[in-house]
A and B are shown apart, each in its own frame.
Chain A
Amino acid sequence: MRGDQPDDRAAFDRFFQTWYGRVTAQIHAYLGDRAEAEDVSQEAFLRAWQRWPDVAAYEDPVAWVRRVAWNLATSRLRRLTVAARVLRRQPLVAPVPAVDPNHVALVAALRTLPERQRRVIVLHYIADLPTAEIAVSLGVAQGTVLSWLHRGRAKLADHLSETSSGEAVTS
Chain B
Amino acid sequence: MTSTEPDSGRDDAAAFLLRSYADGGHLTFTAPSPDVIVHRARRRATTKMALSLAAVVAVAAGGVAAINAIQPDADRSPPIIGPPSPSETAPAPPPSPTPSATTSPPAPPPSSGSRSSSPKGTPTGTGSAVAPLSVRGVDWENTTITISASTGDTCLTGRIRFVDGIGGTPGDAPHIAIRSAYDDGAATFGDLNGDGRDEAVVWASCMAGAGDEDGSGQLLVVTGRSGRLVGSWVGTVAEVVDDIKITDERLTIASTKKYTENSVERTYRWTGTRYERA
Which A residues are in CB contact (< 8 Å) with B5? 130-131
| Consensus secondary structure, chain A interface | helix
Q: Is the CB of B30 within 8 A of A94?
A: yes
A117 at the interface (CB under 8 A from B): no
A85 at the interface (CB under 8 A from B): yes
B75 at the interface (CB under 8 A from A): no
What is the interface residue range for chain B against chain A?
35 or more
Partner of B14, one of A37, A71, A157: A157
Q: Is the CB of B261 within 8 A of A97?
A: no
Which A residues are in CB contact (< 8 Å) with B22? 125-128
Q: Is the CB of A125 within 8 A of B29?
A: no
Which B residues are in CB contact (< 8 Å) with A78? 261
Which B residues are in CB contact (< 8 Å) with A79? 256, 259-261
B183 at the interface (CB under 8 A from A): yes
Partner of A92, one of B6, B34, B213, B240: B213
Which B residues are in CB contact (< 8 Å) with A93? 32, 171, 210-213
Which B residues are in CB contact (< 8 Å) with A105? 17
B126 at the interface (CB under 8 A from A): no
Binds A, one of B35-43, B91-99, B105-113: B35-43
Q: Is the CB of B29 within 8 A of A42?
A: no
What 0/1 pattern do residues 82 to 97 of A give for CB contact below 8 A with B?
1101110111111011
Interfacial residues, chain B to chain A (CB-CB below 8 A): 1-3, 5-6, 8, 10, 12-15, 17-22, 24-32, 34, 36-38, 40-41, 45, 170-171, 177, 179, 182-184, 210-215, 240, 256, 258-261
